[in-house]
Amino acid sequence: MKRLIDLLLAAVASVLLALPLLIIALWIRLTSPGPALHWSQRVGRNNRLFAMPKFRSMRIDTPEVATHLLENPAQWLIPIGSFLRRNSLDELPQLWSILRGDMSLVGPRPALHNQHDLIAQRTQAGVHMLRPGLTGWAQINGRDELPIAQKVALDAWYLEHRSLALDVRILLRTVLKVLRRDGVSH
């Protein structure tokens, strides 16, 4: 049932957002050299790697590490990067990953392939069995500010308590967080 809902909502969102997605892609291309999309290797269900698209908010020569590990993340942003991140618009191409089955609307956010500590802790907690999500319980309870151990604890809580009702609650709280721009550090 969850997969069917993911497919239906991602397909509808993709159609409704087709024009805004195109405008954002063009805006990135006109204000910054390089492609509009950045494909990063992420860890999916059962620790399988997949390529996840995001609108590129950083320069093409940015080191491939979690943003919070960059010494001065702002120096790497493209002219519209901060706007894209603040409004979570950089995440919209992940609708493709949901349609492909690599991601879900709700689940733990997919780790970068080189976030070994996060991957190990999620595996130990059994969270690696979940399909990663566009948003999740940890996202609405701290987002960028959470230390890894707390993020994994929240992901494990979601694993134990997941339900359609909880997913709806997470999606609604995500919309509120995005509108208020809560939890975005850059």
pLDDT mean for each 10 residues of the chain (186 residues): 96 96 97 94 96 94 77 86 91 97 97 93 97 95 85 97 96 89 59
**What's the confidence (pLDDT) of residue 81?**
92
Residue 58 DSSP symbol: B
**Distance between CA 74 and CA 58 in Å, rounded?**
9
**Taking a C-beta distance cutoff of 8 angstroms, is the pair 9, 36 a contact?**
no
**Distance between CA 73 and CA 80 in Å, rounded?**
14
**What's the confidence (pLDDT) of residue 146?**
86
**Taking a C-beta distance cutoff of 8 angstroms, is the pair 103, 110 a contact?**
yes
**What's the confidence (pLDDT) of residue 153?**
97
Number of domains in the chain: 1
Let me know if residue 186 belongs to a domain.
no
Let me know if residue 94 belongs to a domain.
yes
**What's the confidence (pLDDT) of residue 65?**
76
pTM of the model: 0.88
Q: Which residues pair with 40 in a beta bridge?
A: 52
**Distance between CA 29 and CA 40 in Å, rounded?**
18
**What's the confidence (pLDDT) of residue 70?**
77
Let me know if residue 157 belongs to a domain.
yes
**What residue spans of 17-102 are helical by DSSP H?**
18-31, 81-86, 95-100
Domain that holds residue 55: 2-180
Let me know if residue 162 belongs to a domain.
yes
Let me know if residue 65 belongs to a domain.
yes
Number of H helices, E strands in the chain: 8, 5
**What's the confidence (pLDDT) of residue 184?**
56
Let me know if residue 185 belongs to a domain.
no
**What's the confidence (pLDDT) of residue 107?**
97
**What's the confidence (pLDDT) of residue 75?**
84
